[in-house]
Each structure stands twice: as structure tokens, then as C-alpha cells.
Structure 1
Amino acid sequence: MRYLLTLLLLCAAPAYAADRITGRDFATRSEVIAPHAMAATSHPLATQIALDVMKQGGSAVDAAIAANAALGLMEPTGNGVGGDLFAIVWDPKTKKLYGYNGSGRSPKSLTLDYFQKQGLTDIPPLGPLPVSVPGAVDGWFALHDRFGKAPMKDVLAPAIRYAREGHPVAETIAYYWGRSVPRLSKYPGFSEQFTVGGRAPRTGELWKNPNLADTLQKISDGGRDAFYKGDIARTIDAYFKANGGFLSYEDLAAHHGEWVEPVSTNYRGYDIWELPPNGQGIAALQMLNVLEGYDFSKIPFGSAEHVHLFVEAKKLAFADRARWYADPAFQPAPVAKLISKAYAQQRRKLISEDKPLREVQPGTPAELDQGDTIYLTTADADGMMVSLIQSNYRGMGSGMAPPGLGFILQDRGEMFVLKPGHPNTFEPGKRPFQTIIPAFITKDGKPFVSFGLMGGAMQPQGHVQMVMNLVDFGMNLQEAGDAPRIQHENDTEPTGQNTAMSDGGVVQLESGFPYETVRGLMDKGHHVEWALGPYGGYQAIRRDPQTGVYFGASESRKDGQAAGY
């Protein structure tokens, strides 16, 4: 009965008329095309801010920071100055990609022994205990110091103005805000700063955050130290001391992000770039290496064979993700071997074309020797392109909102494991496993696409689907994001919060896949389910290498916008 209901739900998708130009059932609109600059974010006002910054002479990095600051106000359900940040930047002067890891570390005074004495087997998802140092503001200034052109006071001015004067809340954001309020209202400072008389703001309702405006103004005037070593840090310190937490002034003052070398694999002539752990980006590279062994010119998009091979490649990569991905300062991963073609060839042998893998072991050292969020991307008239992702983690984060600051601290520390010997075991001053990952594609040494797809474990799966849609299935930038998505769930996690996969997991399909695909997957032995909403949010910019013209795309499932000039 359960399988019959699942099948009926999958086949009860609404009818779509084919796009009048492309003929694709799922196409929503055209790509945005512009000659000078482009921005794609999850909020139209943030996109306009980014464009304004570039029109006034700012770089793509300035535009990305300005948009990110505005999104902390406009989309607090996904990000803010209380969270972490990762970025990949194409610099046209050096013709090179630069990676930045802006993730924060666990409090130095919190120990594994404390959790064990409290009888905890997992770190709570909310409240003071999962809070780690927020790295976003430090990331802004690191990026700006290297690639900024406009003064930071001009970059942050639009977000400050909107925070004081207000902006109308967008539809999707209002929905998720409404879901967060009941869970987070018990935490000190949340209701006072993030509700309207105890409720979430409604769609179209004007929202102001004067406390955040004050915080951003202090950062604008005093730089990154105003956040990590000034009154803001002292307020955070006092707040956690008063509310059973461990994040301290010393933790904030000691914080620093780091520049890292992006890593890549070549997929059918295109170089796909990700950042190394503690993030999960290399899972996308591992999946692509496995999938490169199949000829998708003979395998149609959306067919049972396409979905099956994608899911099996994902299982292999995620088994390694659970075993090897962690803070490299504590547990270095064999990244070069994990993303090698030889390793992919070995792992590919585990895939059957007729039945799914029920359980998957990670690669062994011997074999290897032969982690809610916003994503945005900007591109400027000089050819600089920025791929940036920023997050509070679980929706609006921990719920911990220090008085008078106008933001919520992230709960990324929930991703630690409370078992000694695990790569992601909690340790003081350690960075947790991260799900947020920016991505970039180059071809023949030139920038091709800056893109990302937020959404927890969906992110590497989404990255791979976008690459395949563009490279294997010939879609344009907007079609690649509009196409129905696949998500596989119930693998073993790096957080150790579930048991090892033993039943093959669950294949979730977005509406738009045909009945024949669902039936074919079930015939192979997959457990297929319909799911509403867990497929992430996509933004992308492509650069024509001949003309320099930009093509932009934005997530049709969210409130966002791609725009250029």
C-alpha cells in the first residue's frame, strides 16, 4: 500500500506546457543576458544592491559582500553575520581561482568531557551548545582586502539603510520564518528581535531591524575588529555567560579564516572546482569521476538509467564523505587520492546497472593509496567572478540572539560527533564538518560558470546535477536549474547521527519525472518517494569566453532574481 501511494503521488504531478522555444516541459523563463555585469541571489533587492555597487565602480567581491549583508537582513532564515562563509573568486588579473574558508571553530572552554557528563550522545541542534565562532564578517574583510575596490562603508551602506527603513518580506522567506518562530521563541533575545508581537512577519509586511543596522554600522566604522574584538564581542561573551553557553570573547578575538587552494577534476573537458574539507565539495568531484565512465549521450535525461547511475555514484562518494571529511588541522583527508580518476575507476566496479547498492563501505587507506543557507554569485565588468555561500546552518540558526545586535548565532557545532576517535569528534578550537560549498567551472583555463546550490546534503548532489545538465544534456543555464531534481537520502553521515545505510536509502524525485522512470527505478529495487521542497536553491552566472557577455540564472523555486546591466 505504501509503494502504491508513493507511486500515485509521483504521478499526480501538475501538467506543464512545453516551453515555446526549447520544447522542455520544465523551462520557466529565459536566461538573463548582459554585457557588463551580473548578479544572481535569492532575493531581488539583494540582486539590485549588488548591481548598484558594481555600477558605482565596485568589484564583484564588493557586490557579493553588499548582497550578503543585505541577505542577512532580508533572509535571516538562511544566513547572517552570526554564520560562516565560503567563497571562490576568479581574478582576471592573475587568471586564477582563489578559495576562502571562513568557517569558525568550537569554543576553547567546551570539552567532550562536558557533553559526556551531561549524558548527551549528540550535540543539541538549538540553544547555546552548538554555537561556534561566526566567520562571515572576517570573511568579508579578507575578501575585500584582497579584491575590493569600493570603501567598506559604501559596501555596507545599502543593508544598513534597508535595516533602518525597512523592506517588505518575500513570500518564501515569510513561510520559513513562520516555521522557525515556534521552535526558537524560547531562546533569549529571539522574540524581541525577530518577531512582530510574537509572530513571524507576513508576506509583504515591512520589516525593520535597527539593531542589525547598528551592528553593521559598527562594522562599517571599525572594521572586522569591531565585531571580533570590540563591543559586539563583549556583548556576545556576556550573553553566553548568562545563558549557559561557552562562546567567549577570547574565542572571537582569536578567530581567523584562511585562504585555501581550490581542488578540481576534469569532466568531459570542463574543470569543476570545489574547496577541500572541512566542507563536502569534493563529494561532487568524486561523483563526477564515477559518472564520467558512462556515456550519457546514449542515456536520456530523467530516465531510470540516468537516475540510477547518479544515485549509485552518490552512495559511493557519501560513504567516503562520512569517513574522511573533517577539519584537516585535526584529521587530514587523502583529498588527492579521493578525487583521482584511478580511485573512481576502482569504485565504479561496485555499481550494478540492474540493482542498487544496499550498503557501501568507504574506501580503505590501501585503496586510496593506489554539510539552510544562501548562495549568491556576482560578476563585474573587469571579468572578476565570485561564487559565495553563507549560512546560519539549521534555518535561523541556534535561536541565540544576543541583546541589541540584531542577529542570531549559527548552530554549526551540531555537526560534531560525541564519539572519541571519529574524524569529526568534538574538540576545543576545531572546525566542524561543513555542508556549505561554492563551486566554479573553467574550460581551457578560462572562467565558464560560477554556481552553487544550497541545501545541506543536497549540495554536492545538486552540483553534480547542474554539471550534468549543462555538459551531458545540453541545457542552458536557466534550464539546468529548472530541470526536476533528484535527492538520495539515508546514507551514513559525517556527524554520526544515524546508523550506516543498510537498505539502499531513499530516492526522492521532484515532480516532473515520467511514470516510466519511477516504474523503472522500482523494478531495479530502489525505494522511491515524492518529496516537496528539499531540492536546494540554485544561482549561476556563465561568461562567454569570446565576447565577455554574461548569462545569469536564478532559482525558480525561491524568491530570487538574476539581473545584469
Structure 2
Amino acid sequence: MAGGEARGQRHVGESATILSMATRSEWNIQKSEAVSTGAMITAEHPLAAEAGARILRDGGNAVDAAVAAAFAMGVVEPTTSGLGGVAWCVIREPDGTITTIDGAGAAPVRATPDMYELQSRGAAGMYGWPATKGDVQNVGYRSVGRMGAVGCLCHALERYGRMDRPSVMRDAIALAADGWETDWNLSLSLALYYDRLAPVDASRAIFFRPSGAPLRAATGFEAGDRLVQRDLAASLRAIAADGPEVLYRGELGRRIVADVQAHGGLLSQGDFELFEVRERPPLAVEYRGLQLRTLPGASGAITTVEMLRILEGFELGKTEALSPMALHLIAEAQRRAFADRFTYLADEAVVGSAIYERLASAEHAAAARATIDPGRATPQAAATPVPPSSDCTTHVNVIDREGRMCSLTTTLGGAFGSGVVAAGTGIMLANVMTWFDPRPGRSNSIAGGKRILSAIAPMLLLRGSTPFVCTGAPGGRRIMSAMLHVVTNLVDWAQPPQQAVNGARSHCEGAPLLIDTRVPQPTRDALAAMGHTVSPKLETFASSHFARPSAIVVRGSEKRAGVGALKSSTAIGVD
């Protein structure tokens, strides 16, 4: 510049120099914490949270409320969950007993490792597997597999709830039968995933106007379109009256199979009849003296647990949250846990349970920790792209007055699952096959009847036997890194729940280190100087770079809840 004057400076008199104070606007969107001395529920949609809160007011317990909210979520947020999806939960009873319920999906029994023709290049789906011709692994009837959400929810309610199915499902049925005004989130999702839904007659008839345009949310001048799902209401009524058998061995399942097979899919009645809910003790570990209880086996929980056990050997609390050192150590723990996941994990029936036990062990964590250089990123051969994530899952947390806890995650796989609503049922079908590697010969390759390796990670934390945290998230593989950040935010840095679930996060599966743009530039520069391949990501209303966690935290007599600020997530306290 002329006269050597630096940009951003101005001269005052002969000697004083004042730096420019000019800034730029940034996103600063927040929600308040919900507080209660009684019960608390969080859900990803206000109508679902209200359905669960009503159950709590009517004398239901945490499991009743979580199941009510989950059924309602399948009506008001068909992007993420529904009767055609899969589900898991972790439940703590007031006497301290903790159990897990697994309603995982599985490949059809007629599926084979080479059932899809691979493209010569490119990746597809939220897990970034090699692309298949026509994307049939992720979209359409050939992506459909065995579904377990209904079995999981009904099993949880029967074993651990105190209300009957018709009472718990009442709001979900009413929302489907009477309809509700389309909100901005659904209208946006319908536009984003038009190509997935529009080719299917039943899907198009439900979610789009006669003109072909997506149902519209309310504007400042007009009411939103009303989404009425009469076939779905009838399916919900059938399950409320007759239980899960109407799906797995009855007329509802037969209708789904007939429609899928008429369009070239592999799902059979035998697949439904083979379904069974698994109830098992939780994966139990400690983190900094707290008791962490989560899902055992083929889920995202094992990977988050491995990350936490690696980090337990570092004094994170003596660093600042989101400091270069903290983010470096977190990235290195993520990198090692994901490497193990991609190498070893799949359905336990295939790879065995011993590998899961080893990855959760203190000995394995110590060995992995010893390979971390506190000042330098692990060398990477190439900066391979990280697959995109999407809003394809939902999560519910509940803690009731008696200290009962329920952390429940349910999903359709990808956004709107397969895009297929089974004709005459109103049920959106999950793209179960999206969880499998379409290449033969891998640990997670396709096999007939093989259960999925999911990314979900519902968690409970306790202080001794006392409830402390109930948490979980939607967000594909980003769930695992999000849960790591939530736990360290709450435990290592003692953050309040709203801050803990909404703070800037990172995600590192391999070479690229995804960093929220809210992390200051000097911190990103410091990470790059350590050798990280830093990839800044701006989280918006339409993106899901870092998952969408929520949490309920118990402190003394109070329950405080934090939920995502960029979506419709809602927490409601009930005294």
C-alpha cells in the first residue's frame, strides 16, 4: 500500500497507530435450557415432545413417555424415523437395574455379497461406500431390509412401561389421522429429497401437492399445508390393538412384502418371521469415576467408548475446551477408534464378541494412547473425503420423577429411508442395506440375514448409582464424535447441558479433521501447524456436519435439558 501503510490501520497524529475494530456478523442462534424438579423429556420435534410430556402428566413413566414420543416422531418427522425403521434404547429402572433393547435391522435372507453392481468410481450414501449402479443400495425397493423399530418400542413398553399401547400411541394416531400443519423443517426436507420420494406413487401422494411441489410450510401470509396420513393412522391403530405381531406375522407385514416384491425387492415374509428383539445387559465402563452405560455390540457406542477410554489417560480438564491441544487429542482418539471400527466391526454373529470386548478394554486404550504424539498429528497417506451426513435419525431422552431413565434412538437409515412408502400402509421403509459395505470380502459386507452395524449411541451416565446424564444424538457416523464431545463437555469441562450439546465440535474418521467454523481461526491454524488436514464446516439449518445431540443432566433436585439450536428439538419439564 502507498507509504507502507498496513491494511486495517490508520494514523493518528505523528505516532499513534490504532488497529481496525471492524468485524463481520456470525450465526449466534441459541435456545434456553429447560428445567424441572419432576420429570424431563427431550425430542426432536415439539409435537413429539408434547406427546411424551402428556404421558408423564397422566402418570406414565419414562419408558411410556419415550415410546409415545418415538411413535409420534414417526408421524411428524418422517424424514428420520417411523414404523418401517429400526430402534434401540438404554433403560435404567429406579432400583438401579439397567438394560438395553436392540431392534436392529438386517439384510433380507436372499441378499448376497455381490447383489449390487458397483460403479467404476464415486461413493454414495451417508457411509460413503462405493457407489452402486442406480444407487439401488440406498434408494428404492432393493435397499429395503428387515425392520425392528416396532418390535423394540413395543417390547420396551410391555416390559418397562406401565400404560397400554392404545394410551401411549393415542397422540401419534391422532396426528396421523387428523393431520398437522407442515413446518419449515419438513418442507425443506421434502424439497431436498424430492428425487428420492417423487418416483414412488405412494410417497408422492402423501408428501407432495397435486402440482408436484412439496407440501408448504406456513408463511407470513398463508397457513401451511396440512399433512394427513390416513393409511399410517390405520397401521398405527392396528399395532395399538394387536401389537407387533400384526407387522411381523400378520396382514401389515404381508402388505409390505407384496409391495416390495412387486417392485423387485428381496424382503420376504420369512424375514419378518425371523425378527426377534434382543434385550441384553449394557456395555458398562467407567469414565473419570462415573459409570457409563450404553449399547453392547454392533452400534456406534463401542467406538465412542473406545475414544473416551483413550482420552481418559490425558488431563483434558487442565486444557481449555476447544483449545488446540484439546482438539488435537480428541482428533487423535477419534482417528484410532474409527480405524478399529472400519477394520474389525460388523454383526457379532460374524466377527464374534471378543473384538468388542477388546476395543472397550483399558489395555487396548493404553496401547492406542501410547501412539499419540501430543504435539503432532498422526501421518496420513492421503486426505480421503469424509462421507456426508444427513438428518436421518431421531433421539428421545426421558428421566421421570422416580429416577427411571430412557435414552432411545430410532432411524430410517438415510433421510426418508429408501424413499418408499409401502402401498396401502403409509409406512416409510428404511434403506437397511445402506449400512453394509457393497464390496464382497469385507467384515461388514452383505450376507443374507446379517444384522447391521449401526452408528447410534444412546448413553446413560451415573454417579455411583445416582442418575446424572441421559443423552444421545441423530447424525450417522457423526453421532460417535458428537457423543464424545458431549461427555467430555459435561464431565471434563463441567459445562451446562445447553452449552455442552451446542458447542462447536470436530469429527475425524481419518485424514481430514472436520472443524466447526465457530472454532476461532487461530485455533484452526494451530491444528494445521500440528499436521492436521483441517476442513472447516459451517453448520446450518439444512446441514448435519456434527450430528444433533441432546441431553438431560441431573444436578441435585433439578433436571436440566439441552437440545439442538438449529432444528425443532424441544425439551419439556413436567413437575
Normalised by the shorter chain, which TM-score bucket?
0.7 to 0.9
- 8 Å CA contact 1:78–1:395 kept in 2: the answer is yes
Cα pair 1:27 1:482 within 8 Å, conserved: no
- 1:47 maps to a residue whose letter is A
Matched, 1:485 2:491: no
CA contact under 8 A between 1:209 and 1:406: conserved in structure 2? yes
Alpha-carbon deviation of 1:117? 11
- Asked whether the 8 Å contact 1:417–1:424 carries over to 2, the reply is yes
* Distance across 1 between alignment mates of 2:100 and 2:497: 23
The corresponding residue for 2:10 is none
| 1:31–1:551 Cα contact (<8 Å) kept | yes
Give matches, 1:420-499, under 5 Å.
Answer: 420-489=440-509, 491=510
Give yes or no for contact 2:196–2:418 (8 Å, CA) kept in 1: no
CA contact (8 A) 2:108 2:266 kept: yes
CA deviation map 1:390-413 (0-9, x unaligned): 000111001121112112111121
Is 2:60–2:163's contact at 8 Å kept on the other side of the alignment?
yes
Residues 458-483 of structure 1 show CA distances to partners (whole Å, capped at 9, x for unaligned) of: 11101110011111112011110121
User: Does structure 2 conserve the Cα–Cα contact (< 8 Å) formed by 1:469 and 1:480?
Assistant: yes
Task: Name the SS of the counterpart of 1:53 in structure 2.
Answer: helix
Deviations, residues 83-132 of structure 1 (Å, cap 9, x unaligned): 10010001113x12111111122111222354479999756211122211
Partner of 2:268: 248
Q: Which amino acid aligns with 1:50?
A: G
Asked whether the 8 Å contact 2:190–2:207 carries over to 1, the reply is no
Q: Per-residue displacement from partner, 1:48-75 (whole Å, max 9, x unpaired)? A: 1101011111121111111111111111
- 1:301 and 1:124 map into 2 onto residues whose CA distance is 40
1:12, 1:58 → 2: CA distance?
51
Per-residue deviation, 1:312: 0.7
- 1:36-75 equivalences under 5 Å are 36-75=38-77
Larger deviation, residues 125-134 vs 208-217: 125-134
Structure 1 equivalent of residue 368 of structure 2: 347
- Distance in 1, Cα, partners of 2:105 & 2:478: 22
Higher alpha-carbon deviation: 182-191 or 461-470: 182-191
Instruction: For residues 216-266 of structure 1, give each alpha carbon's deviation from its aligned partner in whole angstroms, at most 9, with x where no partner exists.
Output: 011111111112122211111111121000111221122112012211321
Q: Deviations over 1:252-300 (max 9, x none)?
A: 1221120122113212111222212221211111111111121123211
C-alpha contact 1:171 1:559 (8 A) present in aligned 2:
no
Distance (whole Å) between structure 2 residues aligned to residue 214 and residue 13 of structure 1? 52
CA change 1:429–1:118 in 2 (3 A) is farther
Deviation at 1:445, TM superposition (A): 2.2
Q: Is the 8 A contact 2:116 2:137 kept in 1?
A: no
**1:561 partnered with 2:573:** no
CA drift of 1:31 comes to: 2.3
2:285 to 254, 265, 269: 265
1:522-541 → structure 2 map (5 Å cutoff): 522-531=528-537, 532=539, 533=543, 534-541=545-552
Distance in 1, Cα, partners of 2:250 & 2:206: 21
Cα shift at 1:352: 1.5
Name the CA shift for 1:114/1:296 in 2 (closer, same or farther; >3 Å). Answer: closer
Which residue number in structure 1 is paired with residue 214 of structure 2? Answer: 200
Matched residue count: 520
* SS of equivalent residue, structure 1 residue 28: coil
CA contact (8 A) 1:280 1:321 kept: no
Q: Distance in 2 between matches of 1:275 and 1:374?
A: 16
Kindly report the root-mean-square deviation, in angstroms, between the aligned alpha carbons of the 2 structures.
Answer: 2.3
Query: Separation in 2 of the partners of 1:210 and 1:147?
Result: 30
SS in 2 for 1:390: strand
**Aligned equivalents of 1:399, 1:379: Cα separation in 2:** 34
Q: Which runs of 5+ in 2 are unaligned?
A: 1-21, 121-129, 219-223, 382-390
Q: Distance in 2 between matches of 1:114 and 1:312?
A: 36
Alpha-carbon distance between aligned partners in 2 of 1:196 and 1:85, rounded to the nearest angstrom: 31
Deviation at 1:306, TM superposition (A): 1.2
CA distance in 2 between partners of 1:76 and 1:271 (Å): 34
Counterpart of 1:238 (choices 258, 262, 282) is 258
Partner secondary structure for residue 433 of structure 2: helix
Match of 2:520 among 509, 514, 525: 514
CA deviation map 1:482-506 (0-9, x unaligned): 21111224x3xxxxxxxxxxxxx21
Q: Percent identity?
A: 28
- Report what 1:279 is aligned to: 299
- Partner residue in 2 for 1:19: none
TM-score under structure 1 normalisation?
Answer: 0.88
Unaligned runs of 5+ in 1: 1-10, 17-25, 361-370, 492-504
Q: Of 181, 198, 207, which aligns to 1:185?
A: 198
Quote the residue 1:33 is aligned against: 35
Which of 200, 203, 213 does residue 233 from structure 2 map onto? 213
Separation in 1 of the partners of 2:80 and 2:118?
Answer: 32
Q: What is aligned with 2:181?
A: 168
Confirm or deny: 8 A CA contact 2:392 2:414 kept in the other structure: yes
Q: CA deviation at 1:541?
A: 1.3
Distance 1:418 1:509, change over 3 A: closer
Judged with a 3 Å threshold, the aligned counterparts in structure 2 of structure 1 residues 529 and 257 are, in CA distance, closer, same or farther, namely: same
Query: Structure 2: which amino acid aligns with 1:127?
Result: G
C-alpha distance in structure 1 between counterparts of 2:395 and 2:179, whole Å: 23
Counterpart residue identity of residue 565, structure 2: S
Paired residue for 2:357?
A: 336
CA contact (8 A) 2:328 2:527 kept: yes
Distance 1:171 1:12, change over 3 A: farther
Q: How far apart in 2 are the matches of 1:464 and 1:516?
A: 23
Pair 1:301-2:315 in alignment: no
* Distance of 2:34 and 2:114 partners within structure 1: 54
Deviation larger for 506-515 or 340-349: 506-515
